[in-house]
Amino acid sequence: MLGKSWKSAVAATAAAGLVSSAAAVSALAAEEVLRIGAPLALTGGLADEGKKQEAVWQLWLDKVNADGGVEVGGRTMKVEFVQYDYQTDGKRAGQLAEKLITDDEVDVLMAPFGSGHTKIVAAVAERYQVPLIACVASSVSVYDQGFQYLFGTLAPNTGMTESMTAYFKEKMPELRSVAVYGRDDVFPKAMASALADSAKSAGLEVTYNELYAVGTMDHSAAMSAIKAAEPDWVYMTGYTQDLILGRKQMQDLGVEAPIITMVTGPAYREFTEGLGELADGVTSSTWWHHATAYEGAVGPWETTAAFYADFLEAFGTDPDYVHGSCAAAADVLVNAVQTAGSTDKQAVRDALAATEILTFYGPIDFGENGMNQGREMPIIQVHGEEIKVLYPAAIADADLKMID
């Protein structure tokens, strides 16, 4: 079992089966092995996110192999992950994906965090015709490239902005305007654009709509402009460290609004821990929350509650959508291999395309472009030291509170 922090997964990988070099791949050579390759951002700007993928796959791997492995075509196969740190460098991610395919001879690939890096790896997987599952890429622009071997467990991000706009208008009838500020990167940019479109369609005035460059360390000019616009709602997109900095600079410059949304900051404990009281009241949208109660799922966790219990025991904290989606992606992959009856790449790809199953994370039904089909996705808000679900009503445990 892993320790109480995902950081311990790094030290445990060699012994537990999540290997990090070609030399270790031969450890299970005497057995039939399902070998999964994963370029991960374990250092650099996306290290927090990459380590979440690593940790939850270790948890999943331990559970699957402790049960003896997986049954495929009448035989039992152990499962093995082969990973490399691509250091949050997109070009390196593509190079390592190719190494995993050609040198390590993995059967399938898992994509790294984020839509931009997933697109790079998907091009490599397509060239070699290796199935690739993306568990943290939701931008339609990744899936409209004609890739036949790419499948994603996140639903399209456009549904998030429509439901959020409708929900906020319902809860705040006097809502009239929104300021949109997004990172100029594939997923955050897509979310910012979608929110602006949804807001306009709902009759809201978009008083500010700008992008900031990757690596921006000073948002003061943008925050001053947003302050002058006096919006009812501030919507900022980016990755965890961007959002922490942005929220602090809002406070420093006196930017105030009844609703402040930072996508997908509150979904990560690093966001709330990094901001403390400043995180209170910040809203976000997310693809999954452990309050969902799916039962009768495929894979090692038959229910959402069972996954949550194991995760809490292993890490001492709640899982977020990255953990849920990535663990479910592994379940989807195994299901496809079992359906194919082998690790033949074309057969596995065809099985993935036909997938329609229930996981502890929710239903997985890939559309023609390889994306999981749309469904209601939770809106969450920081209440003190807790994350509360505001929407959908079936799993809501709090109401929207305005920021003073």
pLDDT digits (tens, 9 = 90+) for 164-197: 999 999 999 999 999 999 999 988 998 999 999 9
Q: List strand residue ranges (DSSP E) for 167-276, in order.
A: 177-183, 205-212, 233-237, 259-263
Distance CA 359, CA 310 (A): 15
pLDDT above 90 (res 19): no
Q: What is the pLDDT at residue 366? A: 96
Q: What is the pLDDT of residues 295-325, one digit of tens each?
A: 999 999 999 999 999 999 999 999 999 999 9
How many other CB atoms sit within 10 Å of the CB of residue 346? 12
C-alpha Rg value of the chain to the nearest Å: 21
pLDDT above 80 (res 5): no
Q: What is the pLDDT at residue 395? A: 87
The percentage of the chain sitting over the pLDDT mark of 70, rounded to a whole number, equals 92
Structure tokens at 235: 């919507």
User: Scanning the structure block, which residue is given the tokens 């950081």?
Assistant: 7
> pLDDT grade, residue 291 (50/70/90)?
confident
Distance CA 21, CA 379 (A): 40
Q: What is the pLDDT of residues 384-394, one digit of tens each?
A: 989 999 999 98
Q: What is the DSSP string of 235-246?
A: EEE--HHHHHHH
Closest CA to 258 of 229, 228, 220, 230: 230
Full set of structural domains in the chain with CATH: 8-155+290-365 (3.40.50.2300), 158-286+378-391 (3.40.50.2300)
Between the alpha carbon of residue 38 and those of residues 47, 94, 153, 193, 219, the distances in Å are 14, 11, 16, 30, 34
